[in-house]
Amino acid sequence: MNYVAFRFTDNDYHGPLKEAIEYIVENRTDELTLDSWREFALRGLVAFDSLRRIDNFTLEHPSSYKFNARKYFEETLVVSEVKNLQELGDSFEGYVFDKNTFLVFYQGY
């Protein structure tokens, strides 16, 4: 397989997802299984999403972040491996890691 695809249709979180994937690519020490890619992407997504909300209000009112981000991300993120980008189809929206060039890029409409 040439690509790892991270399908995530909620574009409010595309920034943190891209940051998470790029961090994994830069810091992994060996080849990852598909389950490992997904787990590390979920951890990174939660972390980078939390970091973009750095302000005093968040510390003083932790309940302002009302929903369980990890649960939502687990329910929404789909990670798959494909040989070519056409396998993703026209409705794919998210990020792709190219295993040959080590680039992470947006794929969608």
Q: So what's the pLDDT on residue 56?
A: 78
Q: Identify the pLDDT of residue 57.
A: 74
Q: How many domains does the chain have?
A: 1
Q: What is the pTM of this model?
A: 0.88
Q: E strand or H helix at 98, and its extent?
A: strand 94-98
Hey, how many other C-beta atoms are within 10 angstroms of the C-beta on 29? 5
What is the C-alpha end-to-end distance of the chain, expressed in Å? 23
One digit per residue, the tens of pLDDT, for the chain of length 109 reads 999 999 998 989 999 999 999 999 999 999 999 999 999 999 999 999 888 877 777 777 766 555 678 899 999 999 999 999 999 999 999 999 999 999 999 998 7
| CB-based contacts of 43, cutoff 8 Å, min separation 6 | 20
What pLDDT was estimated at residue 105? 97
From residue 7, how far is each of 11, 54, 55, 56, 72 by CA, in Å?
11, 26, 29, 32, 14
Predicted pLDDT at 86? 95
**Eight-class DSSP state of 51:** H
Compute the C-alpha angle 19/23/29, nearest 5°: 160
pLDDT of residue 98: 98
What pLDDT score does 53 carry? 75
| Model pLDDT, residue 67 | 62
Within 10 angstroms of residue 104's Cβ, the number of other Cβ atoms is 21
- By the 10 Å C-beta count (0-12 exposed, 13-18 middle, 19+ buried), 68 is classed as exposed
Q: Which domain holds residue 19?
A: 3-107
